[in-house]
Amino acid sequence: MRWRVWAPGHQKLEVVLFGPQGQPGDTLPMTRESGDFFTATLAGKGAGVRYKLRVDGQGPFPDPWSRSQPEGVHGPSEVVVPDFAWKDGDWKGLHPESQVIYEIHVGTATPEGTFDALIPRLRAFKELGVTTLELLPLASAPGTRNWGYDGVSLFAPSAVYGGPEGLRRFIDAAHAHGLGVLIDAVYNHFGPDGNYLSCYSPHYFTDHHHTPWGNAINYDGEGSDVVRELVLSNVDMWIGDYHADGLRLDAAHAIIDDSSPHLLEEIPRRARAAARGRSVVVIAEDDRNDTRLARPVEKKGLGLDGIWADDIHHQLRRAFAGDSEGYYADYTGSVEDIARTLRQGWFYEGQTSQVHKKARGTPASELEPWHFVHCIQNHDQIGNRAQGERLGADVSPAAFRAMSTLLLLSPYTPLLFQGQEWNASTPFLYFTDHNAELGKLVTEGRRKEFAGFSKFSGNEVPDPQALETFTRSKLDWNEASKPEHAGVLALYRELLRLRAQEPILKANRRGSFDARPLGQNALVLERRGPGGALQVIVNVKGGLEHRLPAGARLALWSEESRFGGASTHSPLSGGVLRLDGPSAALVRLEG
């Protein structure tokens, strides 16, 4: 085996080998090569070797490029050989035009919190009707519990979840069930605790750019070619070595790069090359509403496949839950604005944002709807609330069913958060396991963050460092069979079945749909395709009486008793649709 380490400005590097009990042992000197690299070889050894690196007599430190950190981010690094016996040779990858994404935090999705514990759940995901599982960040982070956005060992799947072999087993099993797997990758910042990059080079970070997390990663200054390769080879690894079907790029707007080509252009290119013929998907979380992200490179775009478009979430949350503080101040929640957001894909297309104090967004019409990822809840929108409460805690069950119906019958790519399909009641709180000093700062910062919101009192915010905060966030799968949740699950299964099988709903290109208000408190989303048209009529509040065209038939109603609703009579009578309070109806029009 061979080590190769980049350490500009340093004179002496050594590999320190560690024994099975964690004790340091033999030391191997490293030889300096051109380009500020140091190398060393160890004959007759390979997988399982544990080591650290000593730099000019300092350390030894973990290897920030290591493929495994079995004892955590501060422990010895471990050599991993990608020799897994894959069984997914017939897997061709994802179809980005017809995805239904299901977001998962591995540590809270099951009581055990591991990849292997998720494998028995794969059948349920497939039967639900999702196509793609999106895993929150997997890179090793400090401690035993974390959202994953504090990752510091990019190449080392968390040992807490099951490490490299556990991830390979999970993805292989997912493919056997016909499910794709996306990995949430964080390239806009690296976590502070266990971050040893600066021990090797001053060029990993730059003070020329700044992010909300401090100095930016150096993607365009001195030494940036190696820093960029850190990310691009990480992309290669997830797609090539682990057979992942794509990436979700966290906060892509904070990946600052003034060079050309932009790193965001190189990432999808490397991902597709690493897939070796499989179809892969790269999606950006980005709050700029910028179509350039998903525009083809030949049309002066960056070539990504999708963009998280949160405007629809904010409009619906404002309408049904009444949220108005923070970024919700930019949204009215009116049926006119909800309809406009549905027509376009996002709401802001260049208007001035009150929150950002500047123009935001570009016209969305150049992108087909599948490029836009819509949701009514995700890890951020739940976990970044003071109590980590889900949507179901703030809206009625009827409103939850209505919002879900609109989400899953729209032409856009829907994203669900774990347990959403049965309106799970368990919170998803913000939790960490940092060292005591950093943990205290995180707790204080979290409580200060919510002190200015009228709905929250800072002292009531659960301590992110407390073990209870993590355990409270564990998903309770037993809820799904309880009467108050089973109806919602039946609704989700039926909506996703229609989405996959109904020809009209499969026609999801621009020009095949429209949305418009119906009075002050309702709206209609019309889908057109082979055989006629379907209307999704959503009532936000109050009563609605709407005369339908002759021959219209009720195909689904969110308040049916089988979905948990209390009504036993059809809302359609004599050609008039009557909805009382939050609800949604799917109506089939004659062709």
Query: Cβ–Cβ contacts within 10 Å for residue 358, how many?
Result: 7
The residue from 32, 61, 90 where one domain ends is 61
The annotation status of 384 as a binding-site residue, yes or no, is: yes
Q: Identify whether residues 515 and 578 lie together within a single domain.
A: yes
305 is annotated as contributing to ligand binding: no
301 plus 436 within the same structural domain: yes
> What is the pTM (predicted TM-score) of this model?
0.97
Q: Is 250 annotated as a binding residue?
A: yes
Structural domain total, the chain: 3
Whether the predicted pLDDT of 455 surpasses 70: no
Is the residue at 83 inside a domain?
A: no
Q: What is the mean pLDDT of the chain?
A: 95
Integer Cα distance of 235 and 238 in angstroms? 5
Strand 553-557 to 522-529 pairing: unpaired
382 is in an annotated binding site: yes
pLDDT of residue 154: 97
Q: Are residues 291 and 337 in the same domain?
A: yes
Contact 204/198 with Cβ under 8 angstroms?
yes
pLDDT at 447: 81
The answer to whether residues 470 and 528 belong to one domain is no
For residue 421, being part of any structural domain is answered with yes
Give tens-digit pLDDT for 133-187.
999 999 999 999 999 999 999 999 999 999 999 999 999 999 999 999 999 999 9
The residue range of the domain holding 109 is 101-192+228-452+463-492
497 φ, ψ to 5°?
A: -65, -45
- The reply to whether 471 and 517 lie within a common domain is no
The answer to whether residue 93 sits within a structural domain is no
CA distance 588 to 591: 9
In a domain, 73, yes or no: no
Beta bridge partners of 284: 249, 307
Q: Do both 47 and 170 map to the same domain?
A: no
Q: What is the pLDDT of residues 235-292, one digit of tens each?
A: 999 999 999 999 999 999 999 999 999 999 999 999 999 999 999 999 999 999 999 9
CA–CA dist 397, 583 (Å, integer): 10
Cβ atoms of residues 533 and 515 within 8 Å: no
> Which of 13, 36, 61 marks a domain boundary?
61
Model pLDDT, residue 460: 80
Q: Are residues 169 and 314 in the same domain?
A: yes
The predicted structure's pLDDT at residue 452: 66
Check whether 3 has a pLDDT greater than 60.
Answer: yes
Q: Is the pLDDT of residue 458 over 60?
A: no
Active site residues: 250, 285
501 is in an annotated binding site: no
Rounded Cα distance, 158 and 69, in Å? 7
For residue 515, the domain's CATH number is: 2.60.40.1180
Flag whether 186 is in a domain.
yes
Quick check: helix, strand or coil at residue 409?
helix
Burial label, 148 (beta-carbon count in 10 A; 0-12, 13-18, 19+): buried
Mean pLDDT along residues 324-331: 95
Q: Give the Å distances, CA to CA, from 120 to 109, 236, 419, 488, 545.
A: 12, 28, 16, 22, 46
| Same domain? 488 vs 564 | no
Instruction: Please tell me whether 252 is known to bind a ligand.
Output: yes
Based on the fold, state whether residues 13 and 155 are members of the same structural domain: no
Closest CA relative to residue 75, chosen from 25, 130, 18: 18
Per-residue HEC secondary structure of 45-83 comes to CCCCCEEEEEECCEEEECCCCCCCCCCCCCCCEECCCCC
pLDDT score at 450: 75
311 assigned to a ligand binding site: yes
DSSP string, 444-465: HHHHHHHTT-TT--GGGSPPTT
* pLDDT at residue 483, rounded to an integer: 93
- 395 inside domain: yes
- Residue 497: pLDDT above 70? yes
Mean pLDDT, residues 304-309 taken together: 98
Within a domain: 43: yes
66-136-171-227 Cα dihedral, nearest 10 degrees = -30
CATH of the domain at 45: 2.60.40.10
383 labelled as ligand-binding?
Answer: yes
pLDDT at 422: 98
- Segment among 16-25, 47-56, 78-87 with least mean pLDDT: 16-25
Flag whether pLDDT at 459 surpasses 60: no
Q: For position 45, what pLDDT does the model report?
A: 86
* pLDDT score of 457 more than 60: no
Tens-digit pLDDT profile for residues 21-60: 788 999 999 999 988 999 999 998 889 999 999 999 999 9
Looking at 363-474, which runs of residues are DSSP E strands?
A: 372-374, 413-417
Binding residue per annotation — 381?
A: yes
Q: Is 528 annotated as a binding residue?
A: no
Distances (CA, A) of 430 to 41, 134, 316: 43, 19, 23
Query: Is 257 a domain residue?
Result: yes
Annotated binding residue 521: no
569-578 residue pLDDT tens: 899 999 999 9
DSSP string, 471-495: HTTS--GGGGGSHHHHHHHHHHHHH
Same domain, 20 and 160: no
| Structure tokens that stand for 24 in this block | 């340091």
Q: Is the pLDDT of residue 453 over 80?
A: no
What per-residue confidence (pLDDT) applies to 23? Answer: 86
| CA 185-191-193 angle, 5° bins | 140
| CA neighbours closer than 13 Å in the CB half-sphere of residue 18 | 21
CATH at residue 294: 3.20.20.80
d(C-alpha 576, C-alpha 398), whole Å: 21
Query: Region 105-114: what's the mean pLDDT?
Result: 98
Same domain, yes or no: 299 and 341: yes
Q: Is 380 annotated as a binding residue?
A: yes
Q: Are residues 175 and 238 in the same domain?
A: yes
CA end-to-end distance (rounded Å), the chain: 67
Residue 591 has a pLDDT of: 66
